[in-house]
């Protein structure tokens, strides 16, 4: 299935049915009076987060969603049938935006969350409503209210506990494949990863979800390479794993490039807990490892772990460091009372 994380959708709620102008006409009833029924209400347009979806590919092939309009009122005080609602099924983690792609309408982060996107029009009153002591034969009725038409954007942000960031060919996909059952594409050329991948990682009897996004390069915030369009998928992460290619001649500059792009994208990402690891140490001697580790620690101002995704050296220590950052968030989520969600 092709991965799609942004889709433009056109929606329209149903219009209300018109009220009816009708009079009771029966044998032996000379003055039956008005009996026009009301029009039915138009259908609403809803969005609902459901489990089992991880892409917006369905909205590539259908972009228009129109709810049914209500039926007109009828004689004998019969109200028209209300139009059926329509529900957009979206993956958990979907943001719904206005047409300007900036204003957030809703952020659906829990399964079962629903949000009303367009309310259907009310049905018009029939002439029965207009009967008074001085106007016993009203010949007017209300038309139904029109539906609401709008354009929205759906933007998927994957929900993961840990996010992988780094330059192309830093070994992110290799690491994800080594610690989970995910099978991302791995090759010895830049930008092998073209869309995010998710993997479930286990360590010491615990499990968490890790997201791998395409590599960043200098100027990604300005659109170079694949740009920063995929950084939204690690925004929800509790911790970032920054992998630095140990075979690079200047690991400090590589690390600074990533940190600069994260800061240009969002200060929120820069404030997230971050674990930095020097990767591919199986290809280096001890002296080079010590030298580049020291340079990297001086650049980021913190500790640097050593690992090799291919040889699976130091992988357990990296996963434990990630879990140390994730576990307090899990504990806090368990201790919070679960409030009922209201649409």
310 is known to lie in a ligand binding site: yes
Residue reference for tokens 């038309």: 143
172 is known to lie in a ligand binding site: yes
DSSP state letter for 109: -
Among candidate residues 169, 200, 163, the one with its CA nearest the CA of residue 186: 169
340 is known to lie in a ligand binding site: no
**318 membership: H or E segment, kind and range:** helix 315-335
122 is known to lie in a ligand binding site: no
166 is known to lie in a ligand binding site: yes
Asked if 43 and 15 count as a contact pair (C-beta separation under 8 A), the reply is no
**258 membership: H or E segment, kind and range:** helix 251-265
213 is known to lie in a ligand binding site: yes
Among candidate residues 176, 167, 171, 336, the one with its CA nearest the CA of residue 255: 167
215 is known to lie in a ligand binding site: yes
DSSP letters of 283-317? GS-HHHHHHHHHHHHHHHTS--EE-BTTTTBSHHH
68: helix, coil or strand? coil
Q: How far apart are CA 196 and CA 177, in angstroms?
A: 13
282 is known to lie in a ligand binding site: yes
212 is known to lie in a ligand binding site: yes
- Given the DSSP bridges, would you call strands 197-203 and 64-66 parallel, antiparallel or unpaired? unpaired
105 is known to lie in a ligand binding site: no
**E strands in 166-299:** 197-203, 206-212, 239-245, 274-279
Q: How far apart are CA 143 and CA 16, in angstroms?
A: 8
214 is known to lie in a ligand binding site: yes
43 is known to lie in a ligand binding site: no
160 is known to lie in a ligand binding site: no
171 is known to lie in a ligand binding site: yes
280 is known to lie in a ligand binding site: yes
195 is known to lie in a ligand binding site: yes
Numbered residues of the known binding site: 166-173, 191-195, 212-215, 279-282, 308-310
Numbered residues of the known binding site for GTP: 166-173, 191-195, 212-215, 279-282, 308-310
Numbered residues of the known binding site for Mg(2+): 173, 193
């Amino acid at each position: 299935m092709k991965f799609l994380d942004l889709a433009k959708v056109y929606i329209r709620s149903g219009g209300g049915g018109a009220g009816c102008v009708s009079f009771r006409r029966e044998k032996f009833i000379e003055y039956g009076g008005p009996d026009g029924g009301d029009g039915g209400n138009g259908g609403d347009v809803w969005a609902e987060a459901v489990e089992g979806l991880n892409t917006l590919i369905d909205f590539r092939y259908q972009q228009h969603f129109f709810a049914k309009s209500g039926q007109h009122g009828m004689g004998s005080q019969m109200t028209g049938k209300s139009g059926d609602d329509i529900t957009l099924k979206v993956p958990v983690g979907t943001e719904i935006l206005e047409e300007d792609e900036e204003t957030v309408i809703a952020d659906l982060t829990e399964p079962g969350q629903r949000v009303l996107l367009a309310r259907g029009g009310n049905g018009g009153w029939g002439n029965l409503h207009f009967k008074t002591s001085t106007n016993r034969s009203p010949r007017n009725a209300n038309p139904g209210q029109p539906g609401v038409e709008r354009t929205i954007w759906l933007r998927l942000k994957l929900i993961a506990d840990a996010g992988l960031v780094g330059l192309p060919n830093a070994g992110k996909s290799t690491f994800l494949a080594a610690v989970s059952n995910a099978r991302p594409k791995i090759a010895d050329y830049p930008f092998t990863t073209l869309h995010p991948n998710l993997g479930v990682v286990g360590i010491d009897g615990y499990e968490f979800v890790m997201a791998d996004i395409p590599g960043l390069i200098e100027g990604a915030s300005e659109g170079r390479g694949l740009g920063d369009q995929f950084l939204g998928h690690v925004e929800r992460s509790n911790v970032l794993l920054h992998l630095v290619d140990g075979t690079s001649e200047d690991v400090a500059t590589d690390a600074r490039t990533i940190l600069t792009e994260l800061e240009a994208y969002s200060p929120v990402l820069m404030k997230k807990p971050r674990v930095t690891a020097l990767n591919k140490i199986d290809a280096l001697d001890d002296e080079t490892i010590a030298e580049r580790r020291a340079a990297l620690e001086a650049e980021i101002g913190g500790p640097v772990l050593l690992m090799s995704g291919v040889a699976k050296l130091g992988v357990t220590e990296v996963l434990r460091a990630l879990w140390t950052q994730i576990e307090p968030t899990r504990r806090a989520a368990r201790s919070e009372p679960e409030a009922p969600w209201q649409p």
